[in-house]
Amino acid sequence: DTPASGSSHAKIILIGEHSVVYHQPAIALPLPAVRESVTIARREDGIQQLISRYYTGARQAGPSQLAGINQLIDDLLVRFNVPNIGFDLTINSHLPAERGMGSSAATAVAIIRALYRFLNQPLSHEQLLADANISEKIIHGNPSGIDVATASATNPIWFITGTQPISIPFHLHGYLVVADTGVHGQTGLAVKAVASLREREPQVAETAIKGLGQLTYAAKSALANDHLTELGTIFDRAQHFLKQLGVSHPRLDEMITVANRNGALGAKLTGGGMGGCMICLAPDEATATQIRLALANQGVTQSWVQPLKSEENKS
């Protein structure tokens, strides 16, 4: 038997992280260059083995970080009446973990696609989103669903929790530079921090959340009209609100300053924050390269460039 396989990719939230949890819209795009794949091969001895960069062994005996994935696999095997089927499930990921790039969602999407193929079951996109939510809930507590929607999308999306993601075309001539702080962000923790700020200082939190929502609408129109400089300003203003929500990090703040000093039109954190990745907007490829070099001189070891044109970011 040939093994069944499934794949997915990293995601970048352009704008609307955190406020999306409170029913504001967000815009996210797939980063097809950073991929994740899963293969599942049948084993006749009934053992269910997981092979990954962090852990290899019986999947149920793995570390607590695997609780989400294990629950997801358990649910699917029970649903299809094969709870004790044996297999080797191999996860091959190029996504750095806990960097706001959606690695847990990417893993869930790739596993679900591979598992449905392995069990010869048809899979709709709606079912994929619903199933991936099983592990995301365990990992993040209160996920909006945007990570999963983007990990399974081929185009940039406009996302509002509880509704189907809408594909939105980008007509922008700029480039997005994504740079890793090297600091593990913790989405679950960051989401909780915002929730607790909302209780302690509702006025401050609500102003920031609503402000981020308004900036997301403004970003949508800047994207549609190729208003690059305006989008840069929107990034800076969004970062200001995200700082007020308490989800930035000193390393993010430093890198944002370096990017803006080296020709970026604006910069912000992306994803959960408290570490993780920064994104900034470059007007052309040469500036994108200059920003990456300046960041590398400040100790940044991983960065990526993504054109902001829909045709070019197809998976």
CB of 84 to ligand MEV, least distance (A): 33
Local structure of residue 20 (DSSP, 8 states): G
Which residue type sits at 149? A
Task: At 305, list the tokens.
Answer: 């460039």
Closer residue to ligand MEV, CB minimum distance, 266 or 273? 273
Choose, by CB under 6 A, the member of 146, 218, 259, 277 that binds ligand MEV. Answer: 146
Local structure of residue 3 (DSSP, 8 states): P
Q: Is residue 147 a contact point for ligand MEV (CB under 6 A)?
A: yes
Compute CA distances 113 → 11, 74, 107, 120, 266, whole Å: 17, 15, 10, 11, 37
The closest alpha carbon to 27, from 282, 213, 245, belongs to 213
Pairwise CA distance, residues 14 & 68, whole Å = 26
Q: Is residue 30 a contact point for ligand MEV (CB under 6 A)?
A: no
Closer residue to ligand MEV, CB minimum distance, 20 or 281? 20
Q: Is residue 180 a contact point for ligand MEV (CB under 6 A)?
A: no
Pairwise CA distance, residues 143 & 221, whole Å = 26
Q: Is residue 20 a contact point for ligand MEV (CB under 6 A)?
A: yes
Q: Is residue 272 a contact point for ligand MEV (CB under 6 A)?
A: yes
Q: Which span sits near ligand MEV by CB under 6 A: 78-86, 140-148, 286-294, 304-312? A: 140-148
Q: Which span sits near ligand MEV by CB under 6 A: 56-64, 88-96, 141-149, 229-237? A: 141-149
For residues 13, 17, 21, 22, the Cα torsion angle rounded to the nearest 10 degrees is -130
Closer residue to ligand MEV, CB minimum distance, 190 or 280? 190
Q: Is residue 191 a contact point for ligand MEV (CB under 6 A)?
A: yes
Local structure of residue 64 (DSSP, 8 states): G
Pairwise CA distance, residues 306 & 315, whole Å = 12
Q: Is residue 135 a contact point for ligand MEV (CB under 6 A)?
A: no
Which residue type sits at 164? Q
Q: Which of residues 60-89 bind ligand MEV (CB under 6 A)?
A: none
Closer residue to ligand MEV, CB minimum distance, 101 or 258? 101
Q: Is residue 209 a contact point for ligand MEV (CB under 6 A)?
A: no
Choose, by CB under 6 A, the member of 9, 99, 117, 140 that binds ligand MEV. Answer: 140
CB proximity list for 140: less than 8 A, separation 6 or greater = 104, 187, 188, 191
Q: Which span sits near ligand MEV by CB under 6 A: 120-128, 186-194, 202-210, 249-257? A: 186-194
Is there a contact between 269 and 248 (Cβ–Cβ < 8 Å)? yes
Give the DSSP H or E segment for 49. Answer: strand 48-51
Phi, psi at 279, each rounded to 5°: -125, 150
Pairwise CA distance, residues 138 & 188, whole Å = 10
Q: Which span sits near ligand MEV by CB under 6 A: 111-119, 123-131, 184-192, 300-308? A: 184-192
CB of 22 to ligand MEV, least distance (A): 9
Q: Is residue 237 a contact point for ligand MEV (CB under 6 A)?
A: no
Please list the residues that pair with 244 across neighbouring strands.
Answer: none
Please list the residues that pair with 89 across neighbouring strands.
Answer: 40, 50
Q: Which span sits near ligand MEV by CB under 6 A: 142-150, 235-243, 277-285, 286-294? A: 142-150
Choose, by CB under 6 A, the member of 10, 21, 132, 258 that binds ligand MEV. Answer: 21
Where along the sequence are the contacts to ligand MEV (CB under 6 A)?
Answer: 13, 17-18, 20-21, 100, 102, 140, 143-144, 146-147, 187, 190-191, 271-272
